[in-house]
Structure 1
Amino acid sequence: MSMPSAASPPSIVIDRDRPMPLAEQITVNLRDAIVEGRLEPGARLPSWLDMATQLGVARGTVKTAYERLTDEALVVSSGAAGTRVAEKPISLPAAIAVDIPRPMQGIERGFYLKPLPFQMGVPAQDAAPPPTPRR
């Protein structure tokens, strides 16, 4: 079984006027190409320097995009041997919505309610010195 050679990357379109960072645009383009099958498993991606030169961006921008794809297990980095599309991308289960309560959520009360006796954060009004009259 032979490894696919260095494939020319799919046309990556970046728009400097979009609010989305360039690294994210590159990540999205490559992710779509991998998921849609335009980049075959085992296909070698260009080096950071080559891709950066082709797109006219900094090497760090391409490195960030490649690292995100590596984190998603869509590509495998082999150091000097290059970066390749993963043979079998893992499919992650759908995210489950989890309700995370805010700290002290059960303790808080609305501002429109009178404070309770000994409620934290409420000064004792009867212990405060009386206001001094202005002259």
Structure 2
Amino acid sequence: MSTVNNPVNPQKSRRGLDRIWHATLISLDGFRAGWGEAAFRQEVLCATVMLPAAFWIGRTWVETALLAAVVVLVMIVELLNTGIEAAIDRVGPEWHSFSKNAKDVGSAAVLLSIILCCGVWFAALWHRFAG
């Protein structure tokens, strides 16, 4: 039987609302997998404080959107880093320089997103309270 009619991944053959529904369920599974990481849980905890605060600190809708976006960006990058780590761990538990580099680059991306978030928030706070 051909793989076109019987794909390994049934999601590839779904169309319309059925595809959207199943993609949503898969995404929720991704959030559950991310929740297993302590770093993601810490970032979600920070987001529960920072996202509502963005509406108070932002003076315009653009400022509010930017404050919220950088918080969400940190969580997005953390989920991508978790995916990279899971894929590397799937390959094998033994140490390899390529695996280390992949994990290190993912970690560096998370760090950069956190630095960006902090910079935007400090600038907004400075503008709000010292400006």
* Band of TM-score, shorter chain: under 0.3
Question: Which structure's residues are more often helix, by fraction?
Answer: 2
Q: Which has the higher contact order (CA 8 A, sep 6+)?
A: 2
TM-score (norm: length of structure 1): 0.22
Question: Which structure's residues are more often strand, by fraction?
Answer: 1
**Of the two, which has the highest radius of gyration?**
1
TM-score (norm: length of structure 2): 0.22
